[in-house]
Structure 1
Amino acid sequence: MPVQIDALDRKILIALQEDASRSLEEIAKHVGSSKTPVWSRIRKMKEAGIIGQQTVLLDAEALGLEACFFVLIRTSEHEAEWQNKFLKTLQERAEVMEAHRLAGDIDYILKVRVANARAYDEFYQALISEVRIYNVTALLSMEEIKSTPLLPLASVPS
């Protein structure tokens, strides 16, 4: 069940999403409040699990990770043991940026970030050597049109 937030919480979350490196004083000024209530609300939202790990966003292409593949996986295996091994394998692979279990013809989709096609093939070969997979289709992203970690907070109910 979603945690209820009010307008001030929403402003704080928007400010944090825009730049979590801001000082508490800067955030309070930005949202029109003082430091103590803002700090208290941030603490409560962390405890409620609304605010998770804080990190920094890196530019993958600037770091040489120029290839983004979306990997569609079909499996004929649906036993708990296979799923546990598959999920463990995905967790251990740093190239896997996202993994989703799907409804429909495709069982899983992965977002994989690597340097190039050769690096993707190395990832693919390692994956299929660790886990039995029925079918894998890799789609190379030609251009990233939009990517954002920002949630649409305006549509979150109060």
Structure 2
Amino acid sequence: MPSMNLDGIDRKILAALQADGRLSNVELAEHVGLSPSPCLRRVRLLEEAGIIDRYVALVDQRSVGLPVSVFISIKLERQQEEDLDRFEAEVSAYPEVLECYLMTGTQDYLLRVVVADLAAYERFLKTRLTRVENVAAIESSFALKQVKYTNVLPLELQTP
């Protein structure tokens, strides 16, 4: 994957696509002050460099019947590389796990899980998470309210 230095136009392109990934190339070019051909060339370079990873539709979890977000701290019995790899592979296969982070501190992993209700979480816990080898402790915290959620990176905070 080629590396790339981002200039102001690249940052404008990324900001515009983060706000609306369905912009046509003509709309995007107009928005960032380029003609369509150079704009498309820049977008393709951003894609090839892996800076634009993919295009997705963001779905409201409440609207599809998955209103419960659970943050789960996991402590492993052992933290050898193969143990970490095995844990990561297993939890990555669970569709309920939207995010999984290897952490510093007293816990090894932090997961964000979405489910329909407490009964669904109990099923997830009993049939999946407690059966993962090498898990020493599980601590769950339920989100009462989502105060902020964004997937838009603060590109304006970075210097060109």
Pick the TM interval, shorter chain. over 0.9
Alpha-carbon offset, residue 13 of structure 1 = 0.5
Q: Which runs of 5 or more residues in structure 2 are unaligned?
A: none
Identity of aligned residues (%): 33
Question: Where does residue 17 of structure 1 map in the other structure?
Answer: 18
Question: Where does residue 136 of structure 1 map in the other structure?
Answer: 138
Question: Where does residue 122 of structure 1 map in the other structure?
Answer: 123
Question: Where does residue 96 of structure 1 map in the other structure?
Answer: 97
- Letter of the 1:54 counterpart: Y
TM-score, length basis structure 2: 0.94
Alpha-carbon offset, residue 82 of structure 1 = 2.1
Alpha-carbon offset, residue 157 of structure 1 = 2.4
- Paired residues in the alignment total 157
C-alpha separation in 1, matches of 2:74 and 2:132: 14
TM-superposition CA deviations, 1:52-79 (whole Å, max 9, x none) = 0111000100100010000011112112
Q: CA RMSD, aligned part only?
A: 1.2
TM-superposition CA deviations, 1:16-45 (whole Å, max 9, x none) = 000011100011111111101110101111
TM-score, length basis structure 1: 0.95
Moved over 4 A (4+): none
Question: Where does residue 29 of structure 1 map in the other structure?
Answer: 30
SS at the partner of 2:61?
coil
C-alpha separation in 2, matches of 1:80 and 1:156: 33
Q: Which runs of 5 or more residues in structure 1 are unaligned?
A: none
C-alpha separation in 2, matches of 1:85 and 1:93: 13
| Paired residues of 1:12 and 1:31 also in contact (CA < 8 A) | yes
C-alpha separation in 2, matches of 1:102 and 1:81: 16
